[in-house]
Amino acid sequence: MEIHDLNNAEDSIRNALKKGPLRTLLIIGVMFIVLLLFKPWVQIGAGQRGIVLNFGAVQDKVLNEGLHFKIPIMQQVVLMDVRVQKAQTDASSASSDLQDVTLSVALNYHIMPDKANVVYQTIGTEFKERIIDPAIQEVTKAVSAKYSAEELITKRPSVSTAMKDALSEKLMASNIAVDAVSIVTFSFSKVFMDAIEAKQTAEQHALKAKRDLDRIKIEAEQTIAAATAEAEALRLQKMNISPDLIELRKIEANLKAIDKWNGILPQVTGGGAIPFIGVDELKKK
């Protein structure tokens, strides 16, 4: 082999070595661009589920949280939130005594995670406007009709429980679970509210009058008891009085008078009488 041929071979090998890494890098770059364009993966976040669509058709499989791969162009994944959500709706109804009632109802709910594809297929993502609000309106009318206007106020926990049970049964048919129901506000006509206020005022006055009457009755009973006790004491004292006791009381009175006397007799005694009670008796003794 000639020297020229050897040089050509050496140049060919050197060129091939130079082009090999460049071609590999080019291929890797093209593949990376393709991956970015088609993005054959999807990430499902916390509290979400993935609805798989094959050319727009909903599939039976529901993707859980995490990283999943999909077929570019053919498959699409729609994310749906399955965490607890809140919906607040105003509803108008009538009580059993035909009073107009306006309620504001707050509902906590969540989509059944394993039925997220069914909810998306049958309802879509606007299930609050399509399912929840109409259900609250219907249940509110049905439950309010079982209570009087006054009972809606005094039995509020029972009304909330009845609404929750009815909504749970109704929304479960659409794969929506009810977590809690709260009645935020009740609103009645002004005439009814004035009547309620007047009734409460009358009840408060009646309660005050009853308390005053009870107090007067107790005070009267205490007075009667005290008078009875005093009368009984006097009766017992009268029963114990005897001639000896009367004589003793006289002697005690004389002794007290003697203690107070300064030893000087009055100049005028009014007929010569000695100014001490019972002195004559003492002289006789």
Strands across the sheet with 176-188, in order?
Answer: 85-94, 100-111, 176-188
Q: Is the pLDDT of residue 1 over 50?
A: no
Residues 103, 156 contacting (CB under 8 angstroms): no
Reading the block at residue 166, the tokens are 């009815």
Answer yes or no: are the C-beta atoms of 91 and 143 closer than 8 Å: no
202 has a pLDDT exceeding 70: yes
Contacts of 83 (CB under 8 A, 6+ apart): 47, 110
d(CA 51, CA 63): 7
Rounded distance, CA 92 to CA 71, Å? 50
pLDDT single digits (tens) 77-97: 999 999 999 999 998 888 888
In terms of pTM, does the model score above 0.75?
no
CATH code of the region 85-188? 3.30.479.30
With b meaning 16 or more CB within 10 Å and e meaning fewer, what string describes 219-239?
eeeeeeeeeeeeeeeeeeeee
- The answer to whether the CB of 61 falls within 8 A of the CB of 52 is yes
CA–CA dist 50, 178 (Å, integer): 22
Q: Are strands 48-54 and 41-44 parallel, antiparallel or unpaired?
A: unpaired
Tokens of 180: 């809690």
Percentage with pLDDT > 70 across the chain: 68
Angle at 214 between CA 210 and CA 216, to 5 degrees: 115
CB 76 within 8 A of CB 53: yes
Token couple for 131: 């399912």
Q: Which residues contact 252 (CB under 8 A, 6 or more apart)?
A: none
Give the residue with greater pLDDT, 271 vs 118: 118
Q: Which residue has the tokens 């020297």?
A: 3
**CA distance readout (Å), 49 to 77, 112, 119, 133:** 9, 10, 12, 24
Q: What is the pLDDT of residue 138?
A: 93
Give, as one character, the DSSP assignment of residue 266: -
